Structure 1
Amino acid sequence: MANPTTEWLQAKGWIAFPFQKTVWKAMKQGHSGLLHATTGSGKTLAVWLGALQSLAKTEAPLTVIWVTPMRALSHDTLLALQDAAATLAPSWTLAARTGDTTSGERASQQRRWPTALVTTPESLSLMLSRADAPDVLKRVRLVVVDEWHELLGSKRGVQLQLALARLRRWSPALMTWGLSATLANLEEAADTLAPGAIVVRGARDKKITIDTLLPARIERFAWGGHMGLTMLPAVVGHIDAAASTLVFTNTRSQCERWFQALLDARPDWAGLIALHHGSVDAEARRWVEAAMKAGQLKCVVCTASLDLGVDFLPVEQVLQIGSAKGVARLLQRAGRSGHAPGRRSRVTLVPTHSLEIIEASALRAAVQAGHIEPRRPPAAPLDVLVQHLVTVALGGGFRPDDLLPEVRSAPSYRGLSDEAWAWALAFVRHGGESLRSYPDFQRVVPDDEGVWRVPDPRLARRHRSNIGTIVSDAVMSVQFLTGGRIATVEEGFIARLRTGDVFLLGGRALELVRVEGLTAYVRVAKPDKALLPRWDGGQFPISDTLADAMLQRFDQATQGRYADREMRFVAPLLKLQAQWSALPGSQQLLAEVMTSADGHHLFLYPFAGRVVHLGLASLLSWRAGRDTPATFTMAMNEYGLELLSATEVDWAARLPTLLAPVDVATLRDDVLASLNASELARRRFRQIARIAGLIFQSHPGEARSQRQLQASASLYFDVFRQHDPDNRLLRQAEAELLSAELDVAALGRTLDRMAAQTLNLQRPARPTPLAFPLMVERLRERTSTESLAQRLTRMLAEVEAAAGGGAVPDVDARIAFGQPDDATRPRTRRRRR
């Protein structure tokens, strides 16, 4: 007897892969699992056809819930599922339920639930808050989590863990399957999704071509921080030669600039190229996706908004402007081309400066070696737990003794202490000791039978309007004390400043006077004040995996081995670096000490990424200044950092002590002391307070601004610090600050790694190829564009002459053609100790 699935595949001209058959067999046996396979290799079909084979005879409402990380992907996912279901399960109904679903559609679904529902973690939690949730959701037989790698390491993933634990309570035989393309820690990822889940690895013969669009010549003294638009003619040629192209950029500003530059270069492409990023209207994004699928567009310039899910079969190639900064991100983007089993994916890297050419070589080596970054789930975030308790209280209520084992069955809460559980219960019951007197915080109370419920319909509506763990980033207004508004900047930048710090914005040196809510009040700074230039936060940091691969490339170059065309292309740069100083490496920590007209320089190259380098530079300057007061100007990029001082420092004697690893508690205290940690924690607390239900993004029919949210969060922050200093949400804010924003764990690993390396301190006579970009960024902040161009021209002429000649790039054209970009620009700051 013919198998309907086989017949359907044959009608499509397809045959089942072995890994797909493995999934089908496991699902028939009722197993949960994680399917890990390259993008476009048939993961969706593997699990969906397995569901249709195993559950097609089950026609109960809500048999399958399909979770997608982005509501924008729900429509595309629904279309993909409907194709097979129409033939193999014609009686099944399919629908989507996300934040974009209209009230009419929701009402229709509730009258008759579909057999399979595509939704998001937030909408699934909202369904759990329904009074009839136990009756509606107990019939679910299968939950599929698409793009699990995108959720695993976030609070959204923790929210989903708790939702799955709830569903398993009602349906103990529930199957859970995750789909992933880019993960290293597969066993941990599978266990986090469903304890005891099996891991199925997909086909490994997916062909991925990774090449690099090299410039016409090597710049031995490269300076980053521009859009890469000097590569525009070559990119235009590449796009022209292909039928369809996705051009990935790392920031929205870079995306906008490249889109406009392509149109300027090729006006005849008007209507054939499009723009796609998170700030583009949702309807416009859907039009772009549909047009790309239909083969109507030649090129789409995009950001991470197209990293996931959407099936662009016609895409012939992917271009990545600048470094992807991580192996997993590169693989995800490469998979947007050739997005079908058996098709080759192709990604071409477009470096924006010479050092990114080394990154390109290292990325390909890491891909070939199968090295991908792991993603770790957060450990027991109490704000997510508090929100879940209110959700469960709305969805039928709970008894604490019954709910605790369920919560601890979610892997992130396996280590939840009895004390933390008791605190969470007290918090939802009356807001803790400091908020006990306020009725709005008596959200959940036990009834006469000991079942905890939400007694107030007003609080119930408010909670349902704010379910979720996604918190939006805020920007702050910068204005003079006299009232004149200057600009807006990232909140994280202002949060790191102390009163009296000076920074450059809009070409003016401004001194911070005070911060109120989301407004920073400033005045014009005196000429002799130390400068802390503009913060460029929120961009992709280089991953540990990529950094290790780069250091291996330097090791090979030290041995005279240049393994590929990229490394052979940058050989003149590396040979000059070795001649004037030395090359960094996996076993050697390179430090350079130099004196110039600007002062005394220390250049250090840990290759740990800009976030770690920020913490390391702040830590070094703070430790160095404890004994001898000094003023340090700091600059950092992905590869290293610079400390510049007016007085000479004996770095050869002091570095081993300053870089010595310490215990976790001491490192934590040192980092908190070296930065404006109190204000940073206050800003982090706003996000936690929103998730925990202390403040609300919106009330039914009313949205609140970031300014209102920050004012409310600050009030609670101050109340807790004064009257409840051991409040666990305060402690969580500090812990998240250390782990997420400052990445103290990575800083600790970096200090340990540097301690195991041999310190190679060099004293070059002039800026080396690795030091030059750091110096340029410091100069950029302190001079006008014209002055910078003049000085850069002189500097380049001097170092090129010392290096034996070479053409000096057109600095004026490069500054004008490629303005500084947040994605690649090192940060510089100056602080008096």
Structure 2
Amino acid sequence: MLNPQDPVEFGNAFLETLGWQAKPYQIEAWEAYRDGRSGLLSLPTGSGKTYAAAVGPIWRAVQTSRKKGLQVLYITPLKALARDIEKALAPIVGFSGKTISLDVRTGDTSSYRRSKQRERLADVLITTPESLAILISYRNSDQLLQSCHSVIVDEWHEFFGTKRGAFLELCLSRLRGLNPNLQTWGMSATFGNLGLSCQTLLGTDSQVLIVSSSEKRRIEITTLVPERQADLPLAGHSGMGMMKVFAKDFDWRKPSLVFTNTRSFAERWYQGLIEQFPDKKDAIGLHHGSLDQVNRTQIEDGLKSGELKLVVCTASLDLGLDFSPIERVYQIGSPKSIARLLQRAGRSAHQPGRDSVIRFIPTHGFELFEVQGLQQGVARGDVESPPPCEGYLDVLIQHIVTVGIGPGFEPNQLFNEVRTAWGLRNLSREDYEWCLIFASRGGDSLKAYERYHKITEVDGRYREAELRISRIHRMNIGTITADATVQVKFQGGKRLGHVEERYLSRLKKGDTFTFAGRRLAFNKLYNGVCYVSLAKKVHSQTPRWYGGQLALSAPLAWNLRNVIENFRDMIWASPVEPLVENIIETQERLSALPQVGEVLVELCRTRDGYHCFIFPFEGIHLNQAIGLLLALRLSHGDDTSFQVSVNEYGVELLSRQPFDFSKALKASLFSCDNVLNDLTKSVNLSELSQQQFRTIARIAGLVLQNYPGQRKSGRQVQVSSNLIYQVFERFERGNRLLKLAKDEVIHQQFEIHRLEKALQRLEKSRLLIKTVERLTPFSMPVWASRAATKFDSESLREKIEILESTW
């Protein structure tokens, strides 16, 4: 007989049925839950986090099973994970022997099932933040949710520091308002500042509690390299030339995932693998976020059953899906982040006590230094800690409308409630009142338009202004505002997935492109659907998705600089050492290698003009900002102009006219004084803010993409948001959403705090200025990033090979 007072005994007994013994951290979590605590589980992937988090809440649900309604809420970042989580929780629910129900509610749940859930929720419900917000928007949400005593947030690191995380914080503040004794537990495998992460999850009224493990999963990182240096150029390479290296290493007895950083590369590598292993194409799969859900589910099922032995994927398989058969993980190109490496490595041998195995396939020679930096970062525990998302008034406006169209709210009560969310702990009453007015009347500029009057005050309580508003608002709930996509279907009707609208809009009938692992011919774009057929042509282009480019994280950038500056002290794997030795020896012969406290500058003259190459090694975004600052400060406001080009490692300033860089360069150019003002001069901040405002306008409900029976195109959304931005700029310069847009550009695109630290380091460093006769291993990749805009990939590869042959 289980002790009804003790979740520890309940958990031990359950794990015994699986033939397992409870780990110390699992027992610690169960005891903390029994004592009424909330906290964060920071445990390696595959260590039993789900059982550590879920046993306590389900045990409590068993004890209170006489209470009908929602008791435990399990929140997942991806609706695709819901099925796996349901399978993981079902044995615990079944073990209880009591009648408690388990259910799922996501965007994939049928409308019939959702209508039933509006009347009564299961005892344990698996959902996403967006589906939770829709529940909050129902008139009877107080009755549906007030019995919830426990919330489990899976993969919390995926939410932290994002607008979606802020969105979830406000949903949790609502649940805490309904049940002040709510217990919240988060799970995170990879994160740097655990204290801040935990506090952000739990809100302002809870004490931080972190449950972690002294057991660390060992990560085996192997770098695959070609036999010849020439087969791994320093730039202008997609990694496809490494296909034979991969084929030689791959073992069909060891099922594997092949991670790429982009969907375009995933499509290309899948095609390459099919051509490499034509007799094994039924054992090879493709998985990324733009593919149709049915296709993705088939791939996931094939992985679990062992039918598929090799799947090319993107971040779509980064998260908690348990593919126990997977023995190895391959990473094509640098993951650009230590946390991302750990997350992907954890997909292999996804069981307690097993070592993770990841094989790194560089796409160009310089990534050999990056993987060394990754290994060093893993050994040092340098996991990234992004800043929390704070002051998100656009998300707050959406939340105000969500609660308003639901049960309604009293202004003081909601003000106190939302301030329990960590990101709004400093929310002023003035800002809150402004958001309230904006949600109810559209602010000063839009008050004449009824469509922006979404809630109204009646007897001191805010409710929806019109019945139609609730339906439209629910269709647009959330903060995921990717570029508009178009469904791709065969002429016969089978769905393949979604491709971004602006890519497809450029195609003509008969144009071919590769998508969903097939070569397709574009037939027509009609009524928001792209109709295709199988292409007869062998050659086709691959769609480019316009997501943000991955950049070196701060910890990886630091470790990369350390690798470069202390090259001789590094221990290199034997296959890698000859290649990096050759790169370094060539660099030292043609120029120099920067030491600790130095910044290398290379000056060179070519037919293009006068070049200045500087190597901050700060990642593409910060290097861009540094290059723009230097171009402005070197020009002194005269007619001198520079073309700025960057890559992850360096900056190129190119002058068509003679310019004496050696005389002009000085440490003071890197000063932090007036850095924001200078950046504003060097770029069109208004244009960048207007682009950022498009996302803010959609989150705040100013521009709606989804309507009953129709969907606005990306072009329509862009035009609408631009018009509203211009109205605010002209008639309401003090609009807080305008200020939010500019602040987000400064902090997210410019990364101003990280930029200031980088400038301080550069200002204190000695400039190691070298005049060189030709491009070097350091400068040639930066030059190639500019040259790529003028040449196709084949021509660029030939030019790179010619340059390397001169060394």
Superposed displacement of residue 647, structure 1: 2.3
Structure 2 residue corresponding to 1:98, chosen from 92, 102, 106: 106
Q: Which residue of 1 aligns with 2:469?
A: 459
How far apart are the structure 2 equivalents of 1:589 and 1:171?
56
Q: Tell me the distance in 1 between the aligned counterparts of 2:603 and 2:211.
A: 52
CA distance in 1, matches of 2:699, 2:116: 30
The equivalent of 2:511 in structure 1 is none
Within the alignment, does 1:296 sit opposite 2:316 as a pair? no
CA shift for structure 1 position 46? 0.7
Number of the residue aligned with 1:510: none
**Alignment match, 1:48:** 54
Identical pairs, percent: 39
1:86 paired to 2:94:
yes
Q: Which amino acid aligns with 1:721?
A: E
Corresponding residue of 2:345: 334
Residues 361/789 of structure 1: CA separation in 2 closer, same or farther (3 Å cut): closer
Q: Report the alpha carbon displacement of residue 261 of structure 1 after superposing the two structures with TM.
A: 0.7
**For the residues of structure 2 that align with 1:648 and 1:759, how far apart are their CA atoms?**
21
- Over 3 Å counting, the alpha-carbon distance change for 1:100 and 1:18 in structure 2 is same
2:289 maps to amino acid: G
Give the whole-Å Cα distance in 2 for the aligned partners of 1:201 and 1:758: 42
Within 5 Å, which residues of 2 pair with 1:777-792? 777-783=785-791, 788=796, 791-792=799-800
CA distance 1:622–1:158, shift in 2 (3 Å): same
Offset at residue 783 of structure 1 (A): 4.0
Q: Alignment partner of 1:602: what SS? A: strand
1:402 aligns with 2:410: no
Question: Unaligned 5+ residue runs, structure 2?
Answer: 3-8, 487-499, 505-543
Amino acid at match of 1:332: Q
How far apart are residue 768 of structure 1 and its match?
1.5
1:22 aligns to 2:32 (yes or no) = no
1:429/1:443 contact within 8 Å kept: yes
2:235 corresponds to which of 224, 229, 240: 224
Check conservation: 1:474, 1:490, Cα contact below 8 A: no
Matches of 1:338 and 1:74 in 2, distance apart?
A: 21
**Structure 1: how far apart are the matches of 2:405 and 2:229?**
63
Letter in structure 2 aligned against 1:735: D
Alignment of 1:654-693 (within 5 A): 654-656=664-666, 659-663=669-673, 666-693=674-701
Residues 1:161 and 2:164 aligned together: no
2:243 matches 1:237 = no
In 1, the alpha carbon distance for the partners of 2:741 and 2:118 equals 39
Q: How does 1:341-420 map to 2 (within 5 A)?
A: 341-420=352-431
Aligned-partner Cα distance in 1 for 2:401–2:781: 52
SS in structure 1 of the partner of residue 229 of structure 2:
coil
Query: Pick from 153, 165, 176: which aligns with 1:145?
Result: 153
Asked whether 1:65 is paired with 2:73, we answer yes
- 1:449-491 Cα offsets, whole Å, 9 max, x none, are x011113101122212211111012599xxxxxxxxxx98689
Q: Distance in 2 between matches of 1:535 and 1:775?
A: 24
**Mapped partners of 2:589, 2:560: distance in 1:** 20
Q: State the partner residue of 1:483.
A: none
Do 2:84 and 2:321's aligned partners in 1 also have CA atoms closer than 8 Å? yes
Greater alpha carbon shift after TM alignment, 193-202 vs 238-247: 238-247
User: TM-score, normalization: structure 1?
Assistant: 0.86
Asked whether the 8 Å contact 2:232–2:364 carries over to 1, the reply is no
Partner Cα distance (2:784, 2:449) in 1 = 55
* SS across alignment from 2:220: strand
How far apart are 1:6 and its partner, in Å? 2.3
Change (3 A) 1:435 1:358: same
Matched to 2:777, the amino acid is P
Q: Distance in 2 between matches of 1:131 and 1:782?
A: 58
Identify if the C-alpha distance between structure 1 residues 787 and 366 changes in structure 2 by more than 3 Å, giving closer, same or farther. Answer: closer
Quick one: distance in 2 between partners of 1:585 and 1:204? 37
In the alignment, is the contact (CA less than 8 A) between 1:334 and 1:345 conserved in 2? Answer: yes
Name the residue aligned to 1:525: none
Deviations 1:6-36 (A, max 9, x none): 2332221211110000000000011000000
Alignment of 1:588-737 (within 5 A): 588-656=598-666, 659-663=669-673, 666-737=674-745
SS of alignment partner, residue 270 of structure 1: helix
Identify if the C-alpha distance between structure 1 residues 535 and 781 changes in structure 2 by more than 3 Å, giving closer, same or farther.
Answer: farther
Higher-RCO chain (CA-CA 8 Å, sequence separation at least 6)? 1
Alpha carbons of structure 1 residues 585 and 426: separation in structure 2 relative to 1, 3 Å: farther
AA aligned opposite 2:112: G
Name the CA shift for 1:16/1:669 in 2 (closer, same or farther; >3 Å).
same
Q: Per-residue CA shift, 1:624-650, capped at 9, x if unaligned?
A: 224332242332111111111122333
Deviation, structure 1 residue 746: 2.7
User: Is the contact between residue 307 and residue 332 of structure 1 (CA under 8 Å) also seen in structure 2?
Assistant: yes
| 1:789 Cα deviation from its structure 2 partner | 5.5
> What does residue 825 of structure 1 align with?
none
Give the 3 Å change call, closer, same or farther, for CA 683–583 of structure 1 in structure 2. Answer: same
Structure-2 separation of matches of 1:66 and 1:791:
54
Stretch moving more, 651-660 or 742-751:
651-660
User: Normalization by structure 2: what TM-score?
Assistant: 0.88
CA root-mean-square deviation: 2.2
1:91 Cα shift? 1.3
The answer as to whether partners of 2:501 and 2:714 remain within 8 angstroms in 1 is no
Deviates more, 1:666-675 or 1:649-658: 649-658
Q: Is contact 1:142-1:174 (8 Å) kept?
A: yes
Q: 2:120·2:144 contact (CA, 8 Å) conserved in 1?
A: no
Amino acid at match of 1:233: K
Change (3 A) 1:786 1:576: closer
Decide whether aligned partners of structure 1 residues 134 and 537 sit closer, same or farther in structure 2, where only a CA change above 3 A counts: closer
**Partners of 1:103 and 1:774 in 2: how far apart?**
53
Structure 1 residues 700 and 781 mapped into 2: Cα distance closer, same or farther (>3 Å)? closer
- SS of 2:377's equivalent in the other structure is helix
Give the aligned residue type for 2:712: R
Deviations 1:589-640 (A, max 9, x none): 1111122232211111111111111222222223322433224233211111
How far apart are residue 786 of structure 1 and its match? 6.5
Range with greater deviation from structure 2 (191-200 or 747-756): 747-756
Distance in structure 2 (CA, Å) of the matches to 1:106 and 1:413:
31
1:211 match: secondary structure? strand
2:443 equivalent to 1:435: no
3-state DSSP class of the match of 2:59? helix
Which letter does structure 2 place at the counterpart of 1:17?
K
Secondary structure of the structure 2 residue equivalent to 1:628: coil
Tell me the distance in 1 between the aligned counterparts of 2:781 and 2:618.
Answer: 16
CA 1:226–1:790 in 2, change beyond 3 Å: closer, same or farther?
A: closer
SS at match of 2:227: coil
Deviation at 1:89, TM superposition (A): 5.0
Contact 2:236–2:800 (Cα < 8 Å) also in 1: no
Corresponding residue pairs, total? 743
Pick aligned residue for 1:574 from 566, 570, 584: 584
Compare 705-714 and 621-630 and name the one that shifted more. 621-630
1:13 and 2:19 are equivalent in the alignment? yes
Q: Deviations over 1:132-155 (max 9, x none)?
A: 111211100100000000001111
Contact 2:11 2:22 in 1 (8 A): no
Alpha-carbon distance, 1:382 to partner: 0.6
Which consecutive unaligned segments of at least 5 residues does structure 1 have? Answer: 477-486, 492-533, 800-833
SS at match of 1:366: helix
Tell me if the contact between 2:40 and 2:188 (Cα under 8 Å) persists in the aligned partners. Answer: yes
Q: CA deviation at 1:652?
A: 3.1
Please tell me whether the aligned partners of residues 383 and 688 of structure 1 are also in contact (alpha carbons under 8 angstroms).
yes
State the Cα distance separating 1:793 from its structure 2 match.
Answer: 4.4
Quote how far apart the aligned CAs of 1:424 are: 0.8
Q: Distance in 1 between matches of 2:115 and 2:648?
A: 51
Q: Measure the CA separation in 2 of the matches of 1:535 and 1:462.
A: 28
In 2, are the aligned partners of 1:222 and 1:769 still within 8 Å (CA)?
no
Distance 1:577 1:106, change over 3 A: same
User: Aligned with 1:647: secondary structure?
Assistant: coil
Secondary structure class of the residue paired with 2:312: strand
**Residue 585 of structure 1, CA deviation:** 4.7
